[in-house]
Structures are given as C-alpha cells and as structure tokens.
C-alpha cells in the first residue's frame, strides 16, 4: 500500500509550501468488516479505522455519500493529483505511485522556482508509469475488510479474465486509463 510512503512524502515536502490531503471517497473493497457507507457516521468510522491502521497523519477529507468529489476527480480507486494555486493541474495519476508522485513534485517545485528566469511555460503531457504492488499487503487489506471483499475481488478477476491480459508480449496488460485496442477489436 502507498499510504506509508505517501505519508513520508507529505512530511518531506511540508516545509516547501506543499500541502497534502487524503480524500476518503468510498470503500474500495467492502466486506463484512467495512461495508458500503450508509451514513456519514459509517464513513467517518471507516476513515478513522484506516487512519489508525495506516498511521495517517495527513488531513483526511470525507467525500459525501453520493461521491461528488470522487465523480469530479475521475472515479478511479487510487488517484493522485497535484494542483497549484488557482487550480492548475500539475499532475494527475490514475494510480498512486509514490516514486512517480515524488518525481512530479520535484518537477513542479523546480518549475515554480525557475519559471521566470528560464522563461519556462507549463504545458500538458501524458505518459504511462509503472508501480509494483505488494500482493501480500493487498490481500491482507482484502482479508481485513472481510470474506465478501475477497470473494468479490476473485469474482472480478475471473470475470475480467482474458480482457486484463496482454494482447501480445510487446504490449502490457490493460489497466485503468489504458484504452488501446487490438487489431482484432478494430476489425483489421
């Protein structure tokens, strides 16, 4: 899980005019122990359990029960955004990779410090990035949520089956935000 590494990054950059918050949107893998939120009290209770378990020091903001913030920021389960003053989006990632976040933060801070002297201007770009997942910790989180979370995740993997695999060795597996189509899908 990225929570610990993101806490370290938040602490490391706090004295460089970088604020960091965690937006608690929904239970990613609900189960018997951490169910879908029926009330803000449910959400607050689960957020507090997450704070305690993951030792979160950052401010945790709660999304409303309809998920207004989650909808506004992309609906993916583990996104990270870096926004400047005035709302300029410096970085948006469909998955939290602490190394990628730190690299982006360094770039943003360098831009802020040198943009006038170097006559830099901001522009938009997209790129793919990679992150390893600690499968044991991921499974531990599913188990903490309850047997239903484990069963739901296994059912999703089975249903996704071949659609998540790579169409060829030179193209990676499908991931959220990776919208390529194979030649067969294009009808060629």
Full-model pTM: 0.74
Tell me if 74 is assigned to some domain.
Answer: yes
Tell me if 98 is assigned to some domain.
Answer: yes
Radius of gyration of the chain (CA): 19
Residue 175 confidence (pLDDT): 53
Structure tokens given for 6: 């993101």
Tell me if 99 is assigned to some domain.
Answer: yes
Residue 43 confidence (pLDDT): 95
Residue written as tokens 């830099």? 120
**Which letter, b or e, does each residue of 43-53 get, where b requires 16 or more Cβ atoms within 10 Å of its Cβ?**
beebbeebbee
Tell me if 138 is assigned to some domain.
Answer: no
Tell me if 134 is assigned to some domain.
Answer: no
Report the C-alpha dihedral over residues 46, 48, 53, 56, rounded to 10 degrees: 130
Q: Determine whether 98 is exposed, middle or buried from the number of CB atoms within 10 Å of its CB (0-12, 13-18, 19+).
A: middle
Tell me if 16 is assigned to some domain.
Answer: yes
Tell me if 146 is assigned to some domain.
Answer: no
Whether 76 and 177 have beta carbons less than 8 Å apart is answered as yes
Structural domains of the chain, count: 1
Per run of 10 residues, the mean pLDDT along the chain (length 188 residues) is 89 90 91 93 95 94 95 88 87 90 93 86 81 84 91 84 55 52 56
For residue 8, what is the domain's CATH number? 3.40.30.10
Helices (H), the chain: 3-13, 40-54, 68-72, 98-118, 135-145, 147-160, 183-186
Tell me if 130 is assigned to some domain.
Answer: no
Whole domain around residue 72: which residue ranges? 3-118
């Amino acid at each position: 899980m990225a929570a610990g590494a993101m806490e370290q990054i938040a602490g490391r950059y706090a004295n460089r005019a970088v604020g960091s918050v965690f937006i608690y949107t929904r239970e990613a893998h609900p189960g018997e122990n951490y169910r879908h939120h029926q009330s803000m009290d449910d959400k607050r209770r689960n957020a507090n359990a997450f704070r305690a378990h993951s030792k979160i020091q950052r401010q945790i903001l709660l999304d409303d029960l309809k998920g207004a913030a989650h909808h506004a920021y992309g609906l993916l389960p583990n996104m990270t955004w870096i926004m400047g003053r005035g709302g300029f989006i410096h970085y948006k990632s469909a998955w939290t990779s602490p190394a990628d976040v730190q690299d982006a933060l360094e770039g943003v801070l360098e831009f802020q410090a040198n943009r006038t002297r170097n006559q830099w201007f901001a522009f938009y770009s997209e790129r793919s990035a990679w992150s390893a997942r600690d499968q044991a910790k991921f499974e531990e989180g599913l188990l903490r949520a309850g047997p239903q979370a484990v069963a739901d995740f296994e059912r999703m993997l089975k249903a996704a089956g071949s659609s998540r695999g790579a169409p060829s060795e030179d193209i990676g597996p499908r991931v959220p935000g990776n919208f390529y189509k194979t030649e067969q899908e294009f009808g060629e």
